[in-house]
């Protein structure tokens, strides 16, 4: 249940380069650069509801169960099927253009998205 709660972005590294690589428009990149992304996570054993509110006021909700295929959606509205795995307390999922992991480090939510050699690392605090 370590993931459960409401989180707000504190820092992000590699944001611009990652967003350009995955095809996010320049105006949206600009709006999101200093935006404090809000992530709300509910967890019931292996079932998760992961809600993120983006700078365009878009909300993306993904519901999944560990190790079971689920319907997922990207910020761009692309729908796909994916399976989220948990190993060593770290969640991992393959999105259409990148690999994403989430973990709790101390009292922070650390999300890492990797597309080739480009890495976006976002650290959030609980609010």
pLDDT above 90: residue 24:
no
pLDDT above 90: residue 120:
yes
Environment class of 120 (CB within 10 Å of its CB; exposed 0-12, middle 13-18, buried 19+):
buried
For the stretch 36-57, pLDDT in tens is 889 999 999 999 999 998 766 7
**Spans of all domains in the chain:** 5-126
pTM: 0.89
- The beta-strand segments (E) located in the chain are 5-13, 38-44, 47-53, 59-65, 69-73, 79-83, 85-87, 90-94, 99-105, 108-115, 118-126
Q: Is 16 helix (H, G, I), strand (E, B) or coil?
A: helix
User: What is the per-residue pLDDT for 69?
Assistant: 97
Quick one: fold of 5-126? Lipocalin (2.40.128)
Cα 30 versus chain centre, distance: 18
Environment class of 19 (CB within 10 Å of its CB; exposed 0-12, middle 13-18, buried 19+):
buried
Average pLDDT over residues 66-90: 90
């Amino acid at each position: 249940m370590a993931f459960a709660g409401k989180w707000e972005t504190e820092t992000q590294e590699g944001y611009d380069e990652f967003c350009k690589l995955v095809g996010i428009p320049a105006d949206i990149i600009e709006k999101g650069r200093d935006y404090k992304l809000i992530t709300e996570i509910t967890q019931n054993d292996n079932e998760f509801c992961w809600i993120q509110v983006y700078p365009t006021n878009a909300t993306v909700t993904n519901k999944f169960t560990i190790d079971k295929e689920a319907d997922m959606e990207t910020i761009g509205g692309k729908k796909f099927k994916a399976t989220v795995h948990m190993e060593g307390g770290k969640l991992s999922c393959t999105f259409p253009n990148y690999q994403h992991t989430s973990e709790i480090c101390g009292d922070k939510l650390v999300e890492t998205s990797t597309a080739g050699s480009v890495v976006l690392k976002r650290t959030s605090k609980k609010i």
